């Protein structure tokens, strides 16, 4: 079965207007690509690879709507404390129901790849078990990586005779895809450094990727990203390592940042930033000037360091809003990071597509290339600039050559006419 999509503008394929799909894979991308059993006219719209949410807490989804628990201070640490109590009353089935709805929400905007940060500081590993089952249940349509994330710390947490470190290893044995960590939430810098070393050791032992909540603080002296980068370099593991958040690096001294940029390039370590959530959470102790919590995104881009954007939270204890629409995340991010130069607009979509696929190491099945699975989305715009300028909708999401969804563009019941007399 061959399908041909015509009259398209295709990301990173200048001048090409047609996509040929055979047996669920890209057969050709170009012009006059040959005959097909079915021809779909995209009417000049913009084709992207699917959105990649590089960091999303599916297990926290919509917990912010519970009247029994409210993050009154709006701080990261109150959210952690509240979640610690909340999670004890959850069941695997309740967790799965929320995760399933979360995936449906984000997929409705064009996301097909998710790295799911999942709390494992629970002796029963309820969230991990739920996430693994959801990953396997939805694998044909949505690619999910499960991170064993010790929200309460690897060494600061101990319950029922199990430390956070023990539970991370148990989660990996159950089938989690990545080793997580949160060194800035350990009780001391020494424990934080020890957790970083253990994260890397476990990743190598079980042949897993690494994704660490790193320096999610306004403390300008936080140095766990430096530690993580050093350990990754020593083990030759930089390309398999991701540092998420690194908000303190956005406040760090320029001399220190300059030095670290060189080391980041050397290691090949990846980064994830969260424009909307960080704007909400960080700088809570500041009057003015008020820090906005974003790491040095533009500098990473300019230095060729892989950086992606993520949603992080959807209506939970950390962030009261969020929809999973990565177009919104991109829009906020390029404004906050000042990525609006002429050369930025043609490549900005990398932040929610290719860069995320790179850190997830799914490049063998991702991208608009012949021979790869025919996974792509269609945006209601003629090109990358107009898509960003107008923050357009995703009209279709295609997986293995078949529609996950397709919808019509917005229409008016009454067309706009600025000359029409209204009085």
What phi-psi label fits residue 153: left (phi over 0), alpha (psi between -120 and 50 degrees) or beta? left
Check: CB of residue 58 under 8 Å from CB of residue 114: yes
* Three-state DSSP string of 186-229: CCCHHHHHHHHHHHHHHHHHHCCEEEEEECCCCCCCCCHHHHHH
Element (H, E) at 396: strand 394-399
Q: Which residues pair with 376 in a beta bridge?
A: 398
The helices-and-strands tally (H runs, E runs) of the chain is 12, 17
User: Strand, helix or coil at 233?
Assistant: helix
Give the catalytic positions in this structure: 216
Exposed/middle/buried for residue 154 (C-beta within 10 Å: 0-12, 13-18, 19+): buried
Exposure string of 348-383, with b = 16+ CB inside 10 Å and e = fewer, is bbbbbbbbbbbbbebeeebbbeeeebbbbbbbbbeb
DSSP string, 50-113: PEEEEEE-GGGTTGGG-TT---SS--HHHHHHHHHHHGGG--HHHHHHHHHHHHHHHHTTTEEE
Contact status, residue 269 vs residue 235, Cβ threshold 8 Å: no
In whole angstroms, give the CA distance from residue 238 to residue 59. Answer: 27
Burial class (CB in 10 A: 0-12, 13-18, 19+), 272: buried
Q: What element of type H or E holds 394?
A: strand 394-399
Q: Which uninterrupted H or E stretch holds 27?
A: strand 25-30
**Joined tokens for residue 381:** 């715009």
């Amino acid at each position: 079965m061959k399908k041909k999509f015509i009259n398209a503008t295709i990301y990173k394929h200048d001048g090409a207007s047609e996509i040929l799909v055979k047996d669920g894979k890209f057969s050709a991308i170009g012009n006059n690509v040959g005959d097909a059993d079915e021809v779909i006219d995209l009417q000049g719209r913009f084709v992207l690879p699917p959105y990649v949410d590089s960091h999303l807490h599916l297990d926290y989804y919509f917990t912010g709507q519970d009247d029994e628990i409210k993050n009154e201070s709006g701080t990261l640490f109150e959210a952690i404390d509240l979640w610690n109590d909340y999670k004890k009353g959850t069941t695997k089935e309740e967790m799965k129901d929320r995760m399933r709805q979360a995936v449906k929400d984000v997929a409705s905007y064009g996301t097909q790849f998710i790295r799911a940060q999942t709390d494992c500081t629970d002796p029963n590993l309820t969230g991990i078990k739920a996430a693994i089952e959801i990953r396997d249940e939805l694998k044909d349509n949505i690619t999910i990586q499960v991170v064993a994330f010790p929200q309460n710390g690897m060494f600061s947490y101990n319950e029922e005779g199990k430390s956070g470190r023990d539970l991370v290893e148990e989660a990996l044995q159950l089938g989690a895809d990545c080793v997580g960590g949160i060194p800035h939430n350990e009780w001391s810098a020494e424990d934080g450094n020890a957790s970083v070393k253990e994260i890397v050791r476990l990743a190598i032992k079980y042949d897993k990727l690494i994704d660490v909540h790193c320096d999610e603080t306004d403390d300008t002296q936080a140095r766990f990203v430096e530690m993580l980068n050093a350990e990754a370099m020593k083990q030759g593991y930089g390309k398999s390592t991701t540092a998420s958040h690194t908000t303190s690096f956005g406040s760090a001294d320029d001399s220190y940042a300059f030095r670290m940029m060189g080391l980041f390039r050397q290691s090949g370590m990846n980064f994830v930033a969260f424009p909307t959530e960080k704007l909400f959470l960080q700088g809570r102790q500041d009057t003015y000037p008020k820090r906005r919590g974003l790491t040095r995104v533009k500098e990473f881009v300019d230095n060729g360091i892989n950086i992606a954007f993520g949603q992080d939270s959807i209506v939970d204890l950390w962030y009261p809003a969020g929809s999973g629409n990565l177009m919104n995340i991109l829009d906020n991010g390029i404004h906050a990071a000042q990525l609006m130069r002429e050369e930025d607009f043609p490549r900005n979509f990398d932040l929610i597509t290719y860069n995320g696929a790179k850190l997830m190491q799914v490049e063998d099945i991702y991208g608009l290339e012949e021979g790869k699975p025919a996974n792509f989305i269609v945006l209601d715009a003629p090109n990358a600039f107009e898509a960003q300028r107008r923050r357009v909708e995703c009209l279709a999401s295609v997986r293995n050559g078949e529609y996950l969804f397709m919808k019509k563009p917005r229409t008016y019941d009454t067309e706009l006419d600025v000359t029409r007399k209204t009085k």
